[in-house]
Amino acid sequence: MPKLQGFEFWSRTLGGARHVVAPMVDQSELAWRLLSRRHGAQLCYTPMLHAQVFVRDANYRKENLYCEVCPEDRPLIVQFCANDPEVFVQAALLAQDYCDAIDLNLGCPQMIAKRGHYGAFLQEEWDLLQSMILLAHEKLSVPVTCKIRVFPEIDKTVRYAQMLEKAGCQLLTVHGRTKEQKGPLSGAASWEHIKAVRKAVSIPVFANGNIQCLQDVERCIQDTGVQGVMSAGDGPTRPASLLPAEGNLHNPALFEGRSPAVWELAEEYLDIVQQHPCPLSCVRAHLFKLWHHTLQVHQQLREELARVKTLEGIAAVSRALKLRCQEDMLQQEEGARPKGDLPFFHWICQPCVRPGPKESTKESSGGRSKRALEEEEGGTDGLSKNKQKKQLRNPHKTFNPSLKPKYAKCDQCGNPKGNRCVFNLCRGCCKKRAFRETADCPGHGLLFKTKLEKSLTWKGTQPGLQEPPQTGPGAPGGFSEVVGSALA
């Protein structure tokens, strides 16, 4: 059967999917994908997999794909990060029998992607990307897709998308942010960029960014003309404030247009995990997201959730949170409104808007650093908020610099000196001086003089080896031969 391409691939293989769950590292595992599919998701991606590790490590393949598939989890696209055409194709060949397409990650903006030279940090290397997509398109039995970020310039973004299409990309997901827009500096995703790409290419396009409810999905499709909308963990945005929010991870029923009680989805997810186990770190992370707003109210249970070491323990904390929420519901006065800016009460699934940078921070702080401001706010002990949290975990450790013992400094370099050093130096400086002067420093365990004397004494007892006694590090056959190699 010939390989389907473009719109035929989207309509027949992917079933014309409009509601898509993004690839999320350690967050879009099988159990979460199945939960999302039960509540309106029509297409899911695996977490981003590292192509080079996937090729060389059989356990990595087994744990991240081969044991992470089931008949209900289709259609499915496997995403890889890679920067070498041969390695990318080798990994894709090992994965293609377990999925419906292979996606190349060209959108990850994180520092780990910069260090590994993949993701959004390849977007200027068009020759390399062309060769990767072209080779994969020729060798694979399933289509190749790409997930990209935009350039600041719309016309360059359009040319970028056209280049990928020409190389063999059969479906393009466009995250409407640049690689610099991440974390608290994310801002709003540009649907104008996405709309321009959709008009310029003849393959299906998915939009990513500014999606926090079903109405946003419909509005995005109408405004941009895309075939589908992807919801991730860091995409949705409140347009008025330009602050990044959380979509699918806080409400997996987003594509149903529902905002159910948190415990309903938490219990369903934990039941799926019993059938399809995954690392405890994934489960804990999902529960932190689902219960995010409630954990701001019942913070003692947040500590419990962080400490538990078993799936049963996590489930117990989730049940305790459910009971607390039900008590809050009973105590809620008629006509009361949610606190703060939340659209619903804390026990309802809803987006989480992360705080962005305060525009007036620099002016109000008088140019002082964030750490300096934290130390001022740290209370009577002068500790920053971060150090106060560490002190709670390590109550016997001293974090206040004023309470720590003061160390005497080395006379030469300023490092802490040895307490019993005969030269009042640190070990490094002491070693150099002791060698130069053929001296001992018991405080640092350096015995150059003693070793030299032992060497000369031993030579004096050996027939044919007696020489005129010479001292100093340059003595022939003496000290320099005995200990010189130790200093090389």
Q: What is the pLDDT of residues 209-239, one digit of tens each?
A: 888 889 999 999 999 999 999 987 543 333 3
pLDDT in tens, 443-484: 899 998 998 888 888 888 877 655 555 555 445 544 444 444
User: Which CATH class, in words, describes the domain spanning 6-258?
Assistant: alpha beta
User: How does residue 246 score in pLDDT terms, banded at 50, 70 and 90?
Assistant: low
Task: Choose between 358 and 176: higher pLDDT.
Answer: 176
For residue 1, pLDDT over 70 is answered with: no
pTM of the model: 0.72
Q: Which residues are catalytic?
A: 108
| Sign of the Cα pseudo-torsion (386, 390, 392, 398, in order) | negative
Task: Choose between 327 and 375: higher pLDDT.
Answer: 327
User: How does residue 69 score in pLDDT terms, banded at 50, 70 and 90?
Assistant: very high
Instruction: Provide the pLDDT for residue 244.
Output: 40
The DSSP secondary-structure symbol of 377 reads H
Instruction: Provide the pLDDT for residue 415.
Output: 83
Average pLDDT value for residue range 139-163: 98
User: How does residue 401 score in pLDDT terms, banded at 50, 70 and 90?
Assistant: low
Q: CATH 3.20.20.70: which residues of the chain? A: 6-258
Q: Are 104 and 80 in contact (CB under 8 A)?
A: yes
Instruction: Provide the pLDDT for residue 206.
Output: 98
Structure tokens at 303: 């500590």
Q: Mean pLDDT across the chain, nearest whole number?
A: 86
Instruction: Provide the pLDDT for residue 464.
Output: 65
User: How does residue 353 score in pLDDT terms, banded at 50, 70 and 90?
Assistant: low
Instruction: Provide the pLDDT for residue 278.
Output: 94
CA distances to 181, 283, 313, 330 from 352, rounded to whole Å, are: 18, 19, 25, 24
The lowest-confidence range among 47-51, 167-171, 357-361 is 357-361
Instruction: Provide the pLDDT for residue 386.
Output: 75
User: How does residue 404 score in pLDDT terms, banded at 50, 70 and 90?
Assistant: low
- CA–CA distance, 127 with 337 (Å, rounded to integer): 56
The string over 110-127, giving b where at least 16 C-beta atoms fall within 10 Å of a residue's C-beta and e elsewhere, is: eeebeebebbbbbbeeee
For residue 38, pLDDT over 90 is answered with: yes
DSSP H stretches of helix in 191-310 = 191-200, 214-224, 262-275, 280-290, 292-297, 299-307
